[in-house]
């Protein structure tokens, strides 16, 4: 069977278009930079004597227009590869790029549906709808949701299993056919094989699931902890603020990587310290929801009791299942008391350690942000008005102050997911992440770097995937910040 080329039958037509667009963009960028150095400014609107307006253009405007046109042409060329790969179907004709694009068909369909529905109803979707008025925000959302949908449909997209090994495919270049493909098996390694003979493309796709099942949830837990502690610390002040702030500063004083090294040290793990941390940190979402419902519906006891009771029961069972593992004899006895028949799920030990470590490291930073916002907001007139009406402090904090702080917190949430993603990649790179055979991007980059000068293809795809996800999160945060400032 023949190896695949990068562009297949689409290359002779699309490659010159992409090359010309790249050259035009580079020319416009260099011209814009040079003109800026010599002091040429963009065009301005001039008011004529008859009070009409005229736009006076300069060479800078032409350079910017050339860059925009080149970007549009490049995007159309990429779209051509995507549509061509889907229509041609056969990788021999579509090539590696078209073959990858065809495998990602569920992602393209989901993105198109998401953007079509969001744009159609954007005026009814609040801050999320306003995001579609920001080109930067839309690009960021597209990059983030690309990997979210890739993680969701990873089983459909991947061509092979994440740990499936074909010995004859060790370090084979992209597009190499399998020596003896079985019936129904995908016959090529689209992005080549790694040092053990595993498919790089499939591991990159499954790696998205590994990263996205930890980073957003760990960030959410960190925000629950930070908000629950930051609101009363900033609102009440005094000794409570002093004590919590001191503890937060104590954690922030440790270098992050050193702290992770300590938390995953065998002696620390054997002592059960990560499990004790999970016991403390994972109670905060329950506390947050109980206080939230109690403060909101304190004048409606039946409804309050129903919501608080449901939160305590459901949250309590989930909490005890999360921190307990009766089948693990190495855990301290405290974490094996919960009956196995009521243990709904078990989190693998190494995954729990990483999750707890991420929450523990991020919580103090979120606390400092929330505390700073509260110190500013509590001086506003609407807070004084609420106090005059006799509203409780927790009602004021959760239902009046917190909604008015949503803009900075949403932006920081997006940025912090990006930081957590980088942190997980760093941990995997140093061998401190999840299990060694895991396809998470950090571990994959670490495995591929050993032969990087000879075989760069195993390390580059996960590195680019990590970069694009973090870039998307940063652009999404910029878009949200831009739109939230308009409120």
Number of domains in the chain: 2
pLDDT band at 332 (very low <50, low <70, confident <90, very high): confident
444 within a domain of the structure (yes/no): no
For residue 108, being part of any structural domain is answered with no
Answer whether residue 483 is part of any domain: no
Residues 249 and 376 in one domain: yes
* CA 165 vs CA 80, 162, 182, 193, 477: distances in Å: 33, 9, 13, 9, 39
Residue 135 in tokens: 């080109």
CB atoms within 10 A of CB 373: 21
Q: What is the pLDDT of residue 226?
A: 92
Of 358, 377, 404, which marks where a domain is finished? 404
34 inside domain: yes
pLDDT at residue 54, rounded to an integer: 66
pLDDT digits (tens, 9 = 90+) for 186-206: 888 888 888 888 899 999 999
Is the pLDDT confidence value at 358 over 90? Answer: no
In DSSP terms, which residues pair with 224 in a beta bridge?
none
Residues 253-299 have pLDDT tens digits of 877 777 777 777 777 777 778 778 888 888 999 999 999 999 988 88
**Which value, to the nearest 10 degrees, does the dihedral of the CA atoms of residues 154, 159, 160, 165 take?**
-130
Q: Tell me if residue 421 falls in helix, strand or coil.
A: helix
- Look at residues 107, 67, 65, 105 and name the one whose alpha carbon lies nearest to residue 84: 105
Question: Which pLDDT tens digit goes with each residue over 225-265?
Answer: 999 999 999 999 889 999 999 999 988 887 777 777 777 77
Helix-strand-coil split of the chain, %, nearest 5: 70, 5, 25
Q: Say yes or no: 99 and 219 in one domain.
A: no
pLDDT at 303: 92
Distance in angstroms (rounded) separating the CA atoms of residues 388 and 396: 11
**Residue 11 burial (C-beta neighbours within 10 Å; 0-12, 13-18, 19+):** middle
Is residue 422 a part of any domain in this protein?
Answer: no
56 pairs with which residues across the strands? 44
pLDDT for 21 equals 92
- The H or E element containing residue 53 is strand 53-56
Distance from chain centroid for Cα 293: 29
Residue with tokens 């020596």: 179
Helix (H) or strand (E) holding 65: helix 59-88
169, part of any domain? no
| Full domain range(s) for residue 357 | 215-404
Same domain, 99 and 243: no
Of 338, 372, 404, which closes a domain?
404
The answer on 240 and 93 residing in a single domain is no
Domain termination residue (choose one: 338, 373, 404): 404
In contact, 449 and 277? CB cutoff 8 Å:
no
Task: Return the ∠ at Cα 389 (arms to 388 and 391), rounded to 5°.
Answer: 105
Q: Could you give the CA distance from residue 460 to residue 465 in angstroms, rounded to a whole number?
A: 8
Residues 4-16: what's their mean pLDDT? 86
Quote the pTM value.
0.84
Q: Is residue 51 part of a domain?
A: yes
On average, the pLDDT of the chain sits at: 84
Q: Is residue 259 part of a domain?
A: yes
Residue 19 pLDDT: 92
């Amino acid at each position: 069977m023949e190896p695949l080329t990068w562009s297949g039958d689409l290359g002779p037509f699309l490659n010159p278009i992409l090359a010309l667009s790249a050259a035009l963009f580079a020319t416009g960028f260099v011209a814009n930079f040079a003109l800026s150095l010599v002091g040429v400014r963009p065009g301005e609107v001039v008011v004529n004597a008859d009070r009409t307006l005229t736009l006076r253009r300069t060479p800078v405007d032409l350079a910017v227009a050339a860059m925009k046109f080149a970007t549009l042409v490049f995007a159309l060329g990429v779209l051509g590869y995507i549509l061509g790969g889907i229509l041609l179907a056969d990788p021999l004709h579509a090539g590696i790029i078209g073959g990858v694009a065809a495998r990602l068909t569920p992602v393209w369909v989901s993105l198109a549906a998401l953007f079509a529905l969001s744009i159609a109803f954007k005026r009814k979707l609040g801050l999320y709808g306003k995001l579609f008025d920001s080109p930067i925000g839309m690009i960021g959302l597209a990059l983030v949701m690309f990997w979210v949908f890739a993680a969701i449909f990873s089983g459909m997209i991947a061509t092979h299993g994440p740990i499936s090994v074909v010995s004859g495919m060790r370090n084979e270049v992209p597009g190499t056919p399998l020596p003896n493909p079985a019936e129904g098996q995908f016959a090529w390694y689209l992005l080549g094989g790694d040092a053990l003979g595993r498919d790089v493309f499939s591991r990159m796709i499954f790696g998205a699931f590994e990263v996205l099942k930890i980073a957003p949830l760990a960030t959410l837990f960190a925000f629950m902890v930070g908000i629950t502690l930051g609101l009363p610390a900033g609102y009440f002040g005094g000794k409570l603020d002093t004590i919590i702030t001191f503890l937060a500063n104590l954690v922030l004083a440790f270098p992050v990587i050193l702290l992770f090294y300590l938390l995953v040290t065998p002696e620390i793990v054997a002592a059960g310290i990560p499990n004790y941390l999970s016991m403390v940190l994972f109670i905060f979402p329950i506390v947050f929801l109980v206080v939230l419902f109690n403060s909101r519906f304190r004048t409606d006891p039946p409804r309050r009791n129903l919501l608080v009771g449901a939160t305590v029961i459901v949250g309590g069972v989930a909490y005890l299942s999360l921190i307990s593992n009766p089948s693990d004899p190495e855990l301290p006895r405290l974490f094996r008391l919960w009956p196995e028949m009521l243990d709904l799920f078990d989190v693998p030990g190494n995954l729990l350690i990483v999750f707890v470590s991420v929450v523990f490291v991020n919580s103090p930073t979120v606390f400092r942000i929330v505390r700073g916002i509260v110190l500013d907001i509590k001086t506003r007139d609407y807070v004084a008005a609420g106090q005059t009406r006799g509203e409780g402090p927790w009602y004021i904090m959760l239902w009046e102050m917190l909604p008015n702080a949503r803009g900075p917190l949403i932006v920081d949430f997006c940025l912090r997911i990006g930081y957590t993603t980088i942190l997980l990649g760093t941990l995997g790179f140093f061998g401190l992440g999840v299990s060694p055979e895991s396809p998470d991007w950090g571990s994959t980059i670490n495995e591929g770097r050993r032969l990087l000068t000879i075989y760069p293809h195993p390390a580059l795809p996960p590195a680019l995937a990590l970069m694009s996800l973090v870039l998307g999160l940063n652009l999404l945060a910029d878009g949200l910040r831009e739109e939230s400032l308009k409120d």
